[in-house]
Structure formats: C-alpha cells, structure tokens
Amino acid sequence: MKKFFKRHLPNSDTVKQNRWLRPFGTWLHHPNLWHLHRRGVAGGVAIGLFCGLIPGPLQMISAALFAVLLRVNLPVALFTTLYTNPFTIMPLYVLAYEIGIRVSGAQNGTEVVQLSFPELHWHDWITELWAWLMTLGKPLLIGLPLLAISLSVAGYVAVRMAWRVAVVLRWRARKRRKTL
C-alpha cells in the first residue's frame, strides 16, 4: 500500500519545481510533509477528519495550514477532508446536532428546528450559512467540535493500530520465509 501512495503522491522535488507553490518558500519543503511514516500519516488523517467538518471551502485550506504547522503528511490531510461531501455532510451535521443536544441537555421537543441545508448564493453565502448555523444554535456549536475531536482521535488511533498490525504481519512473514 505504501508503494501505491508513493507512486501517486507528489514528492518534495515536484513541489519545489511547481511555479504555483514557489511563493510559499520553505514552508512546504519539510520532509515530514511528504514522507509516509506512521506518525505523519496518522496525524494527517486526524487533521483531515477534524478539518473536514469545517463548513464551506475552508476545509482544505485549514487542513493544509494545520498539516504544515504540525508537520504531518500534507497530501493525506488534504485527501482525508474529502469524507465530507454533499452526500455525507447532512448526516454528519445531524449527528453533531444530536451529540450537542445530549451534551448540553437541551430539549428538542419544545422547538422544531429545520435541519435542511440553506440555499447559498455567491454574494452572501457566509451570512446565509452563519444564519443557518445560528438557527441550530447551541447544540450544533457544541456538537461539531466534539464530533470533530472524536473523529480525529479515532482516526489517529485506527491508523496507528492498522500500521502496527501491518508491520507485525510483515515481520512474521519475513521470519517464516527465513525459517524455510
């Protein structure tokens, strides 16, 4: 699997030669941003899962900023944000809303809240999105960070465990080949 990613992900030399990325100077040249190792990939998955719940087009920008600041795998962090898409964003926001209701103790029976996504226009999409978020209120604003944190922790642990299992299986296979 590592060979597959090495073939398809850009390396640091490709980034250095890209004319669009040259203005960012040495920020994108740290080797941990491009190297596939367990901490970098697990951190990239965690950042991608966390930033994937950020509304609007800020997901990949924030994932890139966090990946550069924390020096984890940048392409993995960007790719992982794609788990939120038009088909999954509403169920995730409903789940975050339900988590927020349970944590804050708010009762949903007194007021009916419309959970459908608003129609956004280019000229004032930020204000429309903010107004929609405010109608959902406190439960969503509590539930979104809690869901993002729990997804990122679960993703980090899952990648670390899967990586460890894969390494142990390769060690055992190598040991069996040596004994034969």
Alpha helices in 20-124 (DSSP H): 38-51, 58-70, 74-80, 89-104
On average, the pLDDT of the chain sits at 81
Q: Name the residue ranges covered by the structural domains of the chain.
A: 2-105+120-179
Q: What is the pLDDT of residues 30-86, one digit of tens each?
A: 777 777 889 999 999 999 999 999 877 789 999 999 999 999 998 899 999 999 988
More confident residue, 14 or 117: 14
pTM: 0.75
**Segment holding 112, helix H or strand E:** none
Q: Average the pLDDT over 168-173 and give the result.
A: 93
Is residue 112 pLDDT above 60, yes or no? no
pLDDT value, residue 82: 92
In this prediction, residue 39 carries a pLDDT of 92
Q: Which of 126, 124, 120 is nearest to 54 (CA)?
A: 126
pLDDT at 160 over 90: yes
Residues found in the chain:
180
pLDDT at 12: 62
For residue range 1-29, list pLDDT tens digits in order.
Answer: 566 666 766 666 676 677 766 666 667 76
